[in-house]
Structure 1
Amino acid sequence: MEDNNLVEYGAKRVILTITAIMCALLEIVDTTIVNVAMNDMKGSLGVSLTDIAWVVTAYAIANVIVVPMTSWLSQQFGRRNYFAASIIIFTISSFLCGNATTLWEIILFRFIQGLGGGALLVTSQTIITESYPPEKRGLAQAIYGMGVIVGPTLGPPLGGYIIDNWSWPYIFYINIPIGIIATLLAISFVKSPKYAEKSKLSQVDFLGIILLAIAVGSLQYVLEHGQQDDWFSDSTIVTLSITSFFGFILFIWREMVFAHPIVNLKVLKDNNLAIGTILSFVLGFGLYGSTFVIPIYTQSILGWTATDAGLLLIPSSIMTAFMMPIIGTLLQRGFEPKYLVAGGFFVFFCYSLWSYNILTPDTGSEHFFWPLVVRGVGLGLLFVPITTLSLSSLKGQQIGEGAAFTGMMRQLGGSFGIAIITTFISRWTVDHRKNLVTHLDSSDYDVQSYIEQMKMSFIGKGFAPNEALNKAYNLLDMQVTKQATVLTYMDVFLYLGVMFLICIPFILFFIKKGAGKVISAGH
């Protein structure tokens, strides 16, 4: 049943919306802000880059485990209590992360922070969806979407600025004042819905919780560490992949047969939600994949600072934020969501193709500006219609359950995207390098004159002839490697683009006419 007591008007709705977005931003910014700080963290904790990667992994695993359980936890403790407790857990563990002195401490506190953070995203979305009347749901998702899309982009420049001006603990301390304000607002304004029924201890699906944690945790580990551990040639990756596979099968079986499941899979019978969940996965793949590729490319190939690399993505976010209310209004006027989604995928394809065409070892920020603006338009067209479509025919308690599925699939899509892209980058770079080297004939006149030119320039700088020749060859080698890496990034953009293009016929074919249309007030 729908709980109309949750619909708010006027100043109260504005405050609720701000609280929810503040919490969603806290969670999302924290997912990406750490990437910029990893170098400094490994230095001050005295560990390797592989070890420090666990700071990201621990957070992601906790996050993905808690997201599907959020709806159930809200029912057990009351939404307001659970939401406020999550913010408090997140804020306290942020403080502990900043104070950590060993690797194990920071991994543990990041895991706890992820458990608090996972709830923030989904509950924020549910609060915003339910505090607006059904005919304004598109606008509600647009407002929420601004936070979700702008968040990953804000992380790197903000992190870069903090690292350049202070030190890494401050990327965690920045959460504390925001967390305190958000907690006070949540306690004062968030309502708990009436449809929530608490389970008795005997009804709690402990086996479901354990199976979900094992399945999702193992999968997230495989995705985060697969590339650096050389995938299936590593016994841990093989074991965890098998564990994850059987964990999911047993989890699905358990949820279907248990009277009080921790995750209500039956809600996926709703056709719009089922399609929306798949689209959320693809959106996560594209959003996090492209947000991940560009800073790495600009830093490793073009030698930019973290702050500059982060700032490059801001025009894209501004464009998305600008698009959101327009799309929300179009949906409110009855525009078909499926055409907006298909348009979004096509725009994303154009962005990928454009990026593929402009990449060279000397591509500057001015070349990236317009393609990234196009990316911003694509994300604007995708996020709101997908979310509105997913939740459009759900009522009451189902809204929270549906939001949990789309949230989890967006996260997993991002993890899959990043894992696949990092694998491609390292594998394809080797292939391109081999290819380039076979075409590089040392007896070729152009190659010889280039080497001779470089050798003379090094001799001019005071190096002995033998040393100068070695340096010239090293320089040529570096340029070949750089060129191979650029070709790999071009491939990544091309394949991302093709993936989005392939999705378009499915969207037009599978999404029924009128699906996800915003219901007018009279219904």
Structure 2
Amino acid sequence: MKNTILLITVIAAAIMELIDTSIVNVALSHMSGNLGSTLEDTSWVITAYAIANIIVIPMTSFLTNKLGRRNYYIGSIIAFTFFSAMCGLASNIWTLVAFRFLQGIGGGALLSVSQAIVFEIFGKEKQGAASALFGIGVFLGPTIGPTLGGFITENYSWPWIFYINIPIGIAVTVSSILLITEPKIKVKVKEVDWTGILLLIIGIGSLQTVLERGETDDWFAANYIIALTVTAVISIIVFIWWELKIPNPVIDLRVLKSKTLTIAAILTFVTGFGLFTSVFLTPVLAQRVLLFPPTITGLILLPGAVLAIFGLMFSASLLKKGVSPLIIISAGFILFIIFNWQMAGMNLNAGPADLAASLIYRALGLALLTVPLTALAVSGLDAKDVPQGAALNNMMRQLGGSFGIAIINTYVANRFGLHRNDLVSNINIYNTNFTERLNKVTQYFLSRGGSAFDAQKKALAVINNSVDRQSFLLSYLDAYLFIGLLFLLAMPLLLLVIKRKKQTAPVVIISDH
């Protein structure tokens, strides 16, 4: 009974943290209007949280060993809960961004430490089931975030997106205080790698800011983007050199000597790319182009999320029975490619059911990828290197999402310009379809009163909006094809990962992050 409550506690903490990566996606316009800020400034609410997460996740193993797992975990939950409340109380955009960053610092520990505790509860003989169970949280968090955010935004107000964390956070804190203990095997930290910590914060913080803000500020047309890019490159190069040089690094990059971990990390990066970009693209397509309300937009992700739970357990069961991970991961990639192919065929008449049906392929595909990739990431490591390998793998998933959203934003903007130019080139007095539509809409406005000049002006505005809407649709469809192609190109790497393992299912041994 004690272990069951502890299991529910740590998985709830992980899901709570991951939900907050996407819960604000459908509420940005409401925040913008309420706080009197531009949409570009408001998007820093997403950026700040992502930056904090990316910085803290790879440091989790070090911080746990330094502060003690129990103290670090409970302290992180308290910080996450407190700053969630402060986010809801924020009266201006930059106060909200600051509290959101601090919320992300607190949340960074919840994913990896929760993962370690889940595997510790199950033991080595049930690692597949543990991996699947934790995978539910990894998958469900970002997926149901927009659903929950849409419901709260439409029926209440945006601060409740953050207030909802308070009762959960308090319950998780109390349960953690009563149940969480220190791991049996402790690693003493002899020296604190302050240089490595500083380089990591500067390098990853600069890189994440460039990725999140590059498209909004026209990339290298902005001086601060150039400065941060140079800072990121120099800091990361020096960080890698420093961490490989010293005996007690904050992140032990030597674990990447494992070919299995390196390839699995690349595949996890691609999976993160697909997971986060699809969660980002689909709500935008649904609301901006198909004109779905926030609640419906969130709900279209729900059927797939529910089925994914069974997919995760099924993949763990297959691994336990000795089914080759190559088959399971390949099936996951193929299902995700099918999802993108179907989404690339949508049109303006697509309804919620059409999107929900396609999203089932996405959910099942990612469900089949989560367990085997988590297993492969650490299966080739010595027991002492497993915590660091798991932390690096978690970071690669988050980085994949950050790179993905930045790349897709830029790609969609470029494709929008091309598609709009193509469509506008067909709008002229010699195009009978255009002239008939213009006359029909003009007559409609004339029938409602007003001058002929005003009626035609309004008619042209309607047609211009239709062109924009169609251009956005085509751009998003291109983006889905782009993501599907990336997954297709990544598939050959599976042969390199599985080759040495043959038909043996990998054993997951995850201790501390």
> TM-score under structure 1 normalisation?
0.93
The residue type equivalent to 1:68 in the other structure is P
**Corresponding position of 1:322:** 310
In the TM superposition, residue 507 of structure 1 has moved relative to its aligned partner by 1.2
Q: Does 1:241 align with 2:250?
A: no
Equivalences for residues 97-112 of structure 1 within 5 A: 97-112=87-102
Aligned to 1:48: 38
Q: CA deviation at 1:129?
A: 2.1
Q: How does 1:8-157 map to 2 (within 5 A)?
A: 11-157=1-147
Partner of 1:382: 369
1:448 is the counterpart of 2:429: no
Cα displacement (A) at 1:166: 2.4
Contact 2:378 2:508 in 1 (8 A): no
1:225-270 deviations in Å (ceiling 9; x for gaps): 0011001111111111111111111001111111210011112222
Contact 2:76–2:109 (Cα < 8 Å) also in 1? yes
Structure 2: which amino acid aligns with 1:118? G
Aligned to 1:403: 390
2:213 to 205, 210, 225: 225
Pick from 132, 152, 155 the counterpart of residue 162 of structure 1. 152
**Which stretch has the larger CA shift, 62-71 or 432-441?**
432-441
CA distance in 2, matches of 1:480, 1:100: 38
Query: Quick one: which amino acid aligns to residue 453 of structure 1?
Result: K
Q: Which amino acid aligns with 2:389?
A: G
The aligned residue for residue 260 of structure 1 is 248
Moved more, 427-436 or 449-458: 449-458
1:305-316 correspondence to structure 2 within 5 Å: 305-316=293-304
Cα contact 2:423–2:467 (8 A) shared by 1 = yes
1:514 counterpart SS class: coil
Name which of 444, 460, 469 aligns with 1:473: 460
Partner of 1:333: 321
Q: Relative to structure 2, which stretch is displaced further, 49-58 or 70-79?
A: 49-58
Structure 2 counterpart of 1:48, one-letter code: T
Distance 2:496 2:84 in 1: 46
Aligned-pair distance for 1:33? 1.3
SS at match of 2:20: helix
* Mapped partners of 1:278, 1:412: distance in 2: 11
Q: Which residue of 2 aligns with 1:208?
A: 196
Moved more, 169-178 or 221-230: 169-178
Mapped to 2, the partners of 1:319 and 1:498 lie a distance apart of 25
Cα deviation digits, residues 167-186 of structure 1 (max 9, x gap):
22222121111111212222
The structure 2 residue matched to 1:180, chosen from 159, 170, 174, is 170
Offset of 1:461 from its aligned partner?
Answer: 2.1
CA distance in 2, matches of 1:428, 1:387: 35
Q: Within 1, Cα distance between the matches of 2:57 and 2:508? A: 31
- Checking the alignment, whether the CA contact within 8 Å between 1:95 and 1:172 is kept in structure 2 is yes
Deviations for 1:32-80, whole angstroms, at most 9, x for unmatched residues?
1122232232233222222222222111111110110000111111111
Q: Distance in 2 between matches of 1:329 and 1:336?
A: 12
Distance, in Å, in 1 between the alignment partners of 2:453 and 2:157 is 44
Conserved 8 A contact 2:375-2:507: no
Range that drifts further, 394-403 or 176-185: 394-403
Identity of aligned residues (%): 43
Amino acid at match of 2:298: G
CA distance in 1, matches of 2:124, 2:480: 38
Q: How big is the shift at 1:396?
A: 4.1
Amino acid at match of 1:290: S
Q: CA deviation at 1:340?
A: 1.1
Structure 1 window deviating more from structure 2 (503-512 vs 305-314): it is: 503-512
Number of the residue aligned with 1:289: 277
- Distance across 2 between alignment mates of 1:519 and 1:406: 16
| Alpha-carbon distance change, 520 to 388 in structure 1, aligned in 2, over 3 angstroms | closer
Q: Distance in 2 between matches of 1:188 and 1:396?
A: 28
| Residues 191-206 of structure 1: pairs in structure 2 closer than 5 A | 191-200=181-190, 203-206=191-194
212-221 vs 415-424, greater mean Cα deviation? 415-424
Q: Alignment length, in residue pairs? A: 508
Q: Pairwise CA RMSD of aligned residues?
A: 1.8
Alpha-carbon separation, structure 2, partners of 1:108 and 1:369: 35
How far off its partner does 1:397 sit? 4.2
**1:510 shift after superposition:** 4.3
1:6 alignment counterpart? none
Contact 1:137 1:518 in 2 (8 A): no
* Partner SS for 2:313: helix
Residue pair 1:93, 1:109 contacting (<8 A) in 2 also = yes
> Out of 476, 494, 505, which is 1:489 matched to?
476
The question of whether the paired residues in 1 share the 8 Å contact of 2:147 and 2:295 is answered with: yes
Q: Would you identify which runs of 4 or more consecutive aligned residues in structure 1 move more than 4 Å?
A: none
User: Does structure 1 retain, via aligned residues, the 8 Å contact 2:11–2:114?
Assistant: yes
Normalised by the length of structure 2, the TM-score is 0.95
Change (3 A) 1:498 1:442: same
Contact persistence 2:132–2:371 (CA under 8 A): yes
Give distance in 1, aligned partners of 2:356 and 2:35.
37
The 3-state SS of whatever aligns with 1:32 is coil
Q: What amino acid sits opposite 2:418 in the alignment?
A: D
Counterparts in 2 of 1:349 and 1:379: CA distance versus 1, 3 Å: same
The answer to whether the 8 A contact 1:227-1:423 is kept is yes
The Cα of 1:513 is off from its aligned counterpart by 4.3
Alignment-mate amino acid for residue 191 of structure 1: T
CA contact (8 A) 1:76 1:196 kept: no
How big is each residue's C-alpha offset from its partner over 1:390-438, in whole Å with a ceiling of 9 and x where there is no partner?
A: 1224454433212211111111100111111111111211111111222
- Give the structure 2 partner of residue 349 of structure 1: 337
Work out whether residues 127 and 508 of structure 2, in 8 Å CA contact, stay in contact via their aligned partners in 1.
no
Aligned to 1:189: 179
SS in 2 for 1:31: coil
Partners in 2 of 1:418 and 1:390 — Cα distance?
A: 24
